[in-house]
Amino acid sequence: MKEKNWPRLSFREAFADKTAAGHKLQQSSFKVSGKIPIVDQGQSDIAGFSDQESLSWKHPLPVLVFGDHTRAIKYVDFPFILGADGVKVLVPREGLSARFAYYYLKSIDIPSGGYSRHFRFLKEVNVPLPPASEQERVIKLLDKADELRKLRANADPRTAALIPALFHQMFGDPATNPSAWPVRRLDAVVAPGRIVTYGIVQAGPNLPNGVPYIRTGDLKDGVIQLDRLLRTSPEIASSYRRSEVMPGDIVMSIRATVGTTATVPQELSSANLTQGTARISPGPETLTDLSALVSPNAGNAVLDSRSS
């Protein structure tokens, strides 16, 4: 958020911590449906539901909810119940729009302390106080951008489901191969010198300036969630060069949800893999030859082609 010469408030001047004014509900009591949504420190806007109306927030809205462990920041303008644990309820001071404050705090890079408390970092933030008209202008612009983001988020899963359907329509079921397409082993269509291999880096301490490594949980809807990647030391990464990945490589999960794939983007110029993922480096003639990558023998090829 671009700032001008606006007055600035300390965190204590900008917000009142009203956490103690709410009743908290333990996660074991969350339901999948109910009268009142539950807001906790997780990444989802709503964590569950409850019918216990006596526990609902009884004070003015909107408020901001901050995840002390997760660093998630939420704007809440509807009746809710506060989920335990690790949440803070923040009420902006008079003259500071809750929506503007929400967008501003979302723009702050709060340092990661693992699963420790992060509220201590948030309390060090100074908050700008522009005129009300300027706050409203910024809110309108960012609301439009947020709506576009939500539309994109809804479209991505639909696209992920559409691609397999189109493949089946064009080529038939790869398991039975009704059109008798030529079938080749996976290790025969990869780039020379870059065999199909699985990752070997062990998940470890997250180093801010280290080399990123990809876990099965980092693969979603055909893309690598770059903001989730952890990083290991360059010394550890260099000792596991055989499981390095490059832009254009395909990463596949071989544990947990087996078969989830994603393509390594250009901005991830150097990375490695954990043991739950495998690397497939398509050769120059197979970048568009998707039938070879989803042949009936592809799964076995991943296992059989591991380097020793």
For residue 90, list its beta bridge partners: 17, 64
**pLDDT in the model for residue 166:** 78
pLDDT one-digit tens code per residue, 29-57:
999 999 999 999 988 899 999 999 999 99
| SS3 of the chain | CCCCCCCEECHHHHEEECHHHCCEECHHHCECCCCEEEECCCCCCCCEEECCHHHCCCCCCCEEEEECCCCCEEEECCCCEEECCCEEEEEECCCCCHHHHHHHHHHCCCCCCCCCCCHHHHCCCCEECCCHHHHHHHHHHHHHHHHHHHHHHHHHHHHHHHHHHHHHHHHCCCCCCCCCCCCCCHHHCECCCCCCEECCECCCCCCCCCEEEECHHHEECEEECHHHCEEECHHHHHCCHHHCECCCCEEEECCCCCCCEEECCCCCCCEEEECCEEEECECCCCCCCHHHHCCCCHHHHHHHCCCC
Poorest-confidence range of 15-29, 48-62, 103-117, 291-305?
291-305
- pLDDT tens-digit profile of 193-202? 888 887 766 6
What is the mean predicted confidence (pLDDT) over 228-241?
Answer: 79
Q: Percent of the chain beyond pLDDT 90?
A: 38
Contact by Cβ (8 Å): 29, 166: no
Q: Which burial class, exposed, middle or buried, applies to 190 when counting CB atoms under 10 A from its CB (0-12, 13-18, 19+)?
A: buried
Q: In this predicted structure, which of 97-101, 142-146, 253-257 has the lowest mean pLDDT? A: 253-257
pLDDT at 185 over 80: yes
Higher per-residue confidence, 229 vs 136: 136
Q: How far apart are CA 178 and CA 169, in angstroms?
A: 11
45's tokens: 């806007």
List the single range of 76-80, 133-137, 273-277 with lowest mean pLDDT: 273-277
pTM, 2 dp: 0.54
Of 83-87, 100-104, 233-237, 299-303, the range with the highest mean pLDDT is 100-104
Taking 70 as the threshold, does the pLDDT of residue 168 lie above it? yes
Residue whose C-alpha is closest to residue 293's, from 246, 261, 271, 264:
261
pLDDT > 90? residue 261: no
Average pLDDT, the chain: 83
pLDDT > 70 in the chain, percent: 86
User: Above 60 in pLDDT, residue 290?
Assistant: no
Predicted confidence band of residue 259 (pLDDT cuts 50, 70, 90):
confident
Q: Is 270 left (phi over 0), alpha (psi -120 to 50) or beta?
A: beta
Residue where the block lists tokens 């803070």:
88
Higher-pLDDT residue of 296 and 261 is: 261
Answer yes or no: is pLDDT of 150 > 90: no
End-to-end CA distance of the chain: 51
Q: Order of strands across the sheet with 87-92?
A: 15-17, 87-92, 63-67, 73-76
Q: How far apart are CA 7 and CA 171, in angstroms?
A: 63
Report which of residues 103 and 194 the model is more confident about.
103
Query: Which of 60-69, 126-135, 169-178 comes out lowest in average pLDDT?
Result: 169-178
- pLDDT of the residue at 3: 59
